[in-house]
Amino acid sequence: MKIAVIGLGYVGLANALVLSKKHEVVGFDIDKSKLDLLKKRISPLKEEDVQELLNKSSNFKVVDTIDDAISGASLVVVAVPTNFDTSINSFNTKNVSGVVEYTLKHNKSASILIKSTVPSGFTKSLSDTLKSNKIYFSPEFLREGHSIYDSLNPSRIIVGYTSEDKSTLKEAHIIASLLLEACNGVTEVNVISSSEAEAVKLFSNSYLAMRIAFFNELDSYAESKGLNAKNIIDNVSLDPRIGGGYNNPSFGYGGYCLPKDTKELKANFDLVPQTLISSIIESNLVRKEFVASQILSKVKNGEVIGVYLLSMKQGSDNFRESSVIDIIKLLKEKGANLLIYEPSIKEPSFMGVTIENDFDKFILKSNLVIANRIDKKISVHKNIYSRDLYRKD
Ligand SMILES: NC(=O)c1ccc[n+]([C@@H]2O[C@H](COP(=O)([O-])OP(=O)(O)OC[C@H]3O[C@@H](n4cnc5c(N)ncnc54)[C@H](O)[C@@H]3O)[C@@H](O)[C@H]2O)c1
């Protein structure tokens, strides 16, 4: 079976590689530099597992045009970005609908599986507009940095359909089996409506954001009252109904997905009464303001605040929507004297702040170092502000 994957970022590439264990997979991306790397079997992502699988997967290749990718494919997987556009208070879904429409026009027999995160109701409305029952939605739950592990060990596989007619449901089950076959073991598989599947994705990410916001507010409280936040979190988390996962305070939730998915869910509520989803977003803003004010209280006028890495997590290879960037903005507004250590930036400055990628110089020049996550390397500095209490997540 030939499968086409359109968009070869974290989601597309991981799916392409695991699906290629059993099928011929052809990938396409509009980013030519990504295609060039992949042609040389070099991973564009800094994930060892991706590189390893790329070395092994003889069934995966990339092509220069979308036509070459979709021609003769039985399944077309769409994994293009859906950024939140504040001017329309929604995800920009033009990339997704463009690829779906093009595929339907040029390969009438293919089924289409949307893996991009989309608003609840999007796939159904697109299938009504394009008059096709062959568009499905499957929420993706992988984490950046663990994209292959998560694709091989998914917490669940969900396929959403747009019509309850027999052949559409049958095809949804076939797609679900295909996804199950690609992963390592047994996991729950559910076939539900596409609007429900889209809601599962948005509610899951909003729950994670809520949990982070909760422990961050607990941490703000503890810091303000002079209490040991770890003593409180350790003991709160001992209740099995609460549990110990995802409870490590941070400068705020961030990354590509949580900020945009919470905003999208809030927008999807529209006239449905809610306060919680709005509060998650608000809480994250308040947290970042609190963290910035705590940082400023720890330096004297003119002293240098060194920002250690812009990424959210240890080992991350990007800093999309990182809360550290918002902290820098807030500190800059207050006239703070900043310096950034971020080896992935080759330019001399970022957001008007000097980059110092000589680590020893960075350490010497910084009166205070701020780090969303602490690693061995930065631990040498004597004056660090971080809320990374557990060295995880
Ligand atoms: N990153 C994650 O951890 C994650 C997890 C779950 C779901 N998602 C969702 O999956 C989608 C993709 O996320 P990602 O992190 O893989 O994005 P990404 O930015 O890493 O990759 C997207 C790729 O699509 C390419 N692209 C853009 N428009 C295209 C087009 N018209 N045709 C072909 N290629 C095109 C880009 O060049 C890029 O390489 C988003 O909707 C995101 O919300 C992401």
In CATH, what number is assigned to the domain containing residue 308?
A: 3.40.50.720
Do 131 and 228 have their domain in common? no
Do 273 and 301 have their domain in common? yes
pLDDT score recorded for residue 111: 98
User: Is 36 contained in some domain?
Assistant: yes
317 C-beta closer than 6 A to ligand 1: no
Give yes or no for a contact between 49 and 27, defined as CB atoms under 8 angstroms apart. no
Do 126 and 256 have their domain in common? no
99 C-beta closer than 6 A to ligand 1: yes
In DSSP notation, 84-134 reads EETTTTEE--HHHHHHHHHHHHH-TT-EEEE-S---TTHHHHHHHHTT-S-
pLDDT score recorded for residue 186: 81
Number of domains forming the structure of the chain: 2
For the four alpha carbons of 199, 205, 209 and 212, in that order, the dihedral sign comes to positive
Instruction: For residues 116 and 93, give the distance between their C-alpha atoms in angstroms, rounded to a whole number.
Output: 9
Instruction: For residues 155 and 177, give the distance between their C-alpha atoms in angstroms, rounded to a whole number.
Output: 15
Instruction: For residues 48 and 180, give the distance between their C-alpha atoms in angstroms, rounded to a whole number.
Output: 23
One-letter amino acid of 248? N
Do 329 and 248 have their domain in common? yes
* Domain encompassing residue 377: 203-385
Query: 0.85 cut: is pTM over it?
Result: yes
Say how many C-beta atoms besides its own lie within 10 A of residue 235's C-beta: 9
Do 35 and 157 have their domain in common? yes
Do 304 and 227 have their domain in common? yes
Collapsing DSSP to helix, strand or coil, 324 comes out as helix
27 CB contacts (<8 Å, ≥6 apart)?
4, 5, 6, 8, 12, 13, 16, 38, 60, 61, 62, 63, 69
Q: What pLDDT tens digit does each residue of the chain (393 aa) get?
A: 999 999 999 999 999 999 999 999 999 999 999 999 999 999 999 999 999 999 999 999 999 999 999 999 999 999 999 999 999 999 999 999 999 999 999 999 999 999 999 999 999 999 999 999 999 999 999 999 999 999 999 999 999 999 999 999 999 999 999 999 999 878 999 999 999 999 999 999 999 999 999 999 999 999 999 999 999 999 999 999 999 999 999 999 999 999 999 999 999 999 999 999 999 999 999 999 999 999 999 999 999 999 999 998 877 788 999 999 999 999 999 999 999 999 999 999 999 999 999 999 999 999 999 999 999 999 988 999 999 999 988
213 C-beta closer than 6 A to ligand 1: no
Give yes or no for a contact between 377 and 343, defined as CB atoms under 8 angstroms apart. no
Instruction: State the closest ligand 1 atom to the C-alpha of 80, by its place in the atom list counted from 1.
Output: 24
Do 112 and 223 have their domain in common? no
Do 156 and 214 have their domain in common? no
80 C-beta closer than 6 A to ligand 1: yes
User: Measured in angstroms, how far is the CA atom of residue 169 from the centroid of ligand 1?
Assistant: 27
Residue 243 tokens read as: 């549990």
Strands 2-6 and 75-78: parallel
Do 359 and 313 have their domain in common? yes
User: Is 198 contained in some domain?
Assistant: no
User: Is 195 contained in some domain?
Assistant: no
Do 87 and 127 have their domain in common? yes
Instruction: State the closest ligand 1 atom to the C-alpha of 12, by its place in the atom list counted from 1.
Output: 16
Do 175 and 280 have their domain in common? no
User: Measured in angstroms, how far is the CA atom of residue 239 from the centroid of ligand 1?
Assistant: 37
Do 11 and 119 have their domain in common? yes
